Structure 1
Amino acid sequence: MRLIKLIVVSLMTMSLQFTQAATLNAQQALTEAPPMSLFERWNAPIEPFEIFHHVYYVGTDNLSSILFDTGAGLVLIDSGIDQSAEQIKNSIEKLGFKITDVKYLLNSHARLDQAGGFAKLKQWSGAKLIASAENAEMLANGARTDFALGNQLPFPSVKADLIFKDGEQLKLGNQVFTAHATPGHLPGATSWTTEIHYHFKNYKVVYADSLFTGGYHLLNNKNYPQIVPDMRHTFQTLNAIHADIFLANKADRFNMKQKLARLKSGDQNAFIDPNGLQNYAAKGQMEFEQQLQEQQRLARLKTLQ
């Protein structure tokens, strides 16, 4: 009986936290959302291909969706926009799999371009959707409480089946997927790692979430007060990960097309990039600190006026 009470209290507390988090401060200016035409361009079709042993790209021209064959079912990370879902399903089938072979869907962050296709893909596959608590809230309301964008870019709502905290792991077949909390782009932003055993060697794969904060209000953000320390903690987290294969939720962030050209030319190790993650983190940190310094400079000027 006590266990049931504890569970009820825990669920009530979680519900209260979600309600509080879902209330955006009306005094906080929002960031202007990109036009839908940008996401539509990123959604241009591309043929699926094998990145590495049992790792496949099934996304679009610039919206990453990565498929892993674990030997006991498929795991899919991210889903593009709503219109991407049909492409992703077709790409999975072109590789010789069935959509019902997908057992788990993993999310990096709950915005239109990473989570818009989950509702359809979950329905078609019957897979369980895994997300952080903060992402799960936004998945459930279709990103209508986005701290930076408000309800400017809604997508079809979908329920997360499993809530993962930092360091929690999913085990399926030959694979173990580890969630890494990398907040900043969104409070629930999550990166994922796993290892591929091939030719008597383990290759670590990282799927890094976005580090982009362009247009964000970094100083005294009433909807996300911890954004600056969260971003800095995320840079530390990613720099501590040493991966052989660097992937990210936008194809251009890991030079997908250039590496694919090398792969098609016969370089089977085209996606081996041990410095890729650190280069990505360094670029992101430099841009973030420059943005923060500029906002601080403008704030100082304002106080002198």
Structure 2
Amino acid sequence: MHLIKSIALSLMAMSFQLAHATPLNAQQALTEAPPLSLFESWNTPIEPFKIFNHIYYVGTENLSSVLFDTGDGLVLIDSGIAQSAPQIKANIEKLGFKITDVKYLLNSHARLDQAGGFAQLKQWSGAKLIASAANAEMLANGATSDFALGNQLLFPVVKANIIIKDGEQLKLGRQTFTAHATPGHLPGATSWTTDVKYHFKNYKVIYADSLFTGGYYLLNNKNYPDIVSDMQQTFKTLEAIHADIFLANKADRFNMKQKLEKLQAGDKRAFIDPTGLQSYVEKGKADFEKQLQDQQQLAQLKSLQ
């Protein structure tokens, strides 16, 4: 049980970094946050199930939380909203594991619906929380520094134990997890890949972060000047990955319900979806390019007035 690369920052260094977070620019308009009722509707309980060899879904109806049994402890990706934590704990136990079997918590991005349950799950499990530097900053302040939403969607604060960079890896038991920086939805957005062996064959699994930028100000954003170039690089990053099993931080993004129906009907390969990631990227890219073009055209019209 070890980290392949030396990625842990000392608590002193992390505290210094978090204490010197850049404040939001008061002149930058913010995006209106969705109502809390939307997240609560996504939090509808469902029974946990085995996705594939050593991989389990322990989240809610639409808030993904995915569990990996490494043979030397469990790794959990994302935690839903704060109210999701008891469900995730109960789902882990329904599968025959203990919450204290969870050794690492991985984060895709630090917003209410992916990170809200981390504080409670970390306390129950004693697990180490791993996040990118930008995500760690938001985890530590409960999302008061959200570049798009400001402090509209706060969640319980929690400190990351380990800061991970693009391409760095975590190894536990039979699993090696690679962090892929996929910023845009948030500056710290991270996707995760790992390989799962089944019948002497390796299957690459991706847990992809959000590509959604709806409502964002893409041009000259004073809180996130690099948002356009970051999104463009993220599309390139994900286009270069071939994944046999495509998972994402919202269940509907990887057609979880439809695949679950096939699984329950006896198809053990229901979640094998070698084109799922690329379809997800193509849609995200098309939506982003249209949004960018619309904002550029509007800006041009305003400049002519």
TM-score, normalized by length of structure 2? 0.95
Name the structure 2 match of 1:236: 236
Structure 1 vs Structure 2: percent identity of aligned residues?
Answer: 78
In 2, distance between residues paired with 1:185 and 1:152? 16
Following TM superposition, the consecutive aligned residue runs of length 4 or more in structure 1 with deviations greater than 2 angstroms are 18-22
Matched positions, count = 296
Q: Alpha-carbon deviation of 1:15?
A: 3.1
Name the structure 1 match of 2:16: 15
The AA in structure 2 aligned to 1:15 is: F
Q: Name the SS of the counterpart of 1:44 in structure 2.
A: coil
Q: Name the SS of the counterpart of 2:288 in structure 1.
A: helix
Higher relative CO (CA 8 A, sep ≥ 6), structure 1 or 2? 2
Per-residue Cα deviation, 1:107-158 (whole angstroms, up to 9, x for no partner): 0000000000000000000000000000000000000110000000000000
The AA in structure 2 aligned to 1:85 is: A
- Within 5 A, what are the aligned runs for 1:32-181? 32-181=32-181
In 1, distance between residues paired with 2:207 and 2:76? 11
Q: Alpha-carbon deviation of 1:11?
A: 3.0
Per-residue Cα deviation, 1:86-106 (whole angstroms, up to 9, x for no partner): 000000000000000000000
Q: Alpha-carbon deviation of 1:20?
A: 5.4
Q: Name the SS of the counterpart of 2:50 in structure 1.
A: strand
In 1, distance between residues paired with 2:35 and 2:197? 41
Q: Alpha-carbon deviation of 1:21?
A: 4.1
Name the structure 2 match of 1:205: 205
Unmatched tracts of structure 2, length 5 or more: 1-8
Q: Alpha-carbon deviation of 1:22?
A: 3.4
The AA in structure 1 aligned to 2:38 is: L
Name the structure 2 match of 1:3: none
Name the structure 2 match of 1:185: 185
Unmatched tracts of structure 1, length 5 or more: 1-6
Q: Name the SS of the counterpart of 2:82 in structure 1.
A: coil
In 2, distance between residues paired with 1:281 and 1:84? 27
Pairwise CA RMSD: 1.4
Q: Name the SS of the counterpart of 1:83 in structure 2.
A: helix
Q: Name the SS of the counterpart of 1:229 in structure 2.
A: helix
In 2, distance between residues paired with 1:191 and 1:156? 22
The AA in structure 1 aligned to 2:13 is: L
In 1, distance between residues paired with 2:243 and 2:298? 38
In 2, distance between residues paired with 1:237 and 1:48? 31
In 1, distance between residues paired with 2:178 and 2:83? 28
Q: Name the SS of the counterpart of 1:183 in structure 2.
A: coil
TM-score, normalized by length of structure 1? 0.95
In 1, distance between residues paired with 2:170 and 2:82? 25
In 1, distance between residues paired with 2:192 and 2:175? 12
Relative distance call for 1:291 and 1:19 in structure 2 (3 A) is farther
